[in-house]
């Protein structure tokens, strides 16, 4: 047995889990943040496309009514 195996056993006894699972919460949180960020970007792009289309349509309707210059 090496000193690392002894250390890993000591950590497992103290924490109740494997030392290799220590950063799992941080990794999961980072993945969740990235997913939310990509969703936010997708929502912004969709909003921008919808508003550009709506602005164009409203401008055309106003011009058709007679409010254009």
Q: What digits encode the pLDDT tens for the residues 6-52?
A: 777 777 777 666 556 666 778 888 999 999 999 999 999 999 999 99
**pLDDT at res. 68:** 54
**pLDDT at 57 exceeding the cut of 80:** yes
**pLDDT given at position 22:** 64
User: Rounded CA gap, 63 and 69, in Å?
Assistant: 8
Burial class (CB in 10 A: 0-12, 13-18, 19+), 44: exposed
- CA distances to 6, 26, 49 from 19, rounded to whole Å, are 12, 14, 48
Higher pLDDT, 1 or 14: 14
pTM, two decimals, is: 0.54
- Can you tell me the distance from the alpha carbon of 62 to that of 68, in angstroms, rounded to the nearest whole number? 6
Is residue 17 helix, strand or coil? coil
């Amino acid at each position: 047995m090496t000193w690392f195996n002894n250390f890993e056993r000591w950590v497992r006894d103290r924490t109740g889990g494997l030392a290799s699972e220590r950063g799992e919460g941080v990794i999961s949180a980072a993945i969740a943040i990235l997913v939310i960020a990509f969703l936010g970007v997708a929502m912004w792009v969709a909003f921008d496309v919808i508003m550009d289309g709506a602005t164009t349509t409203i401008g055309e309707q106003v011009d058709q009514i007679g409010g254009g210059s």
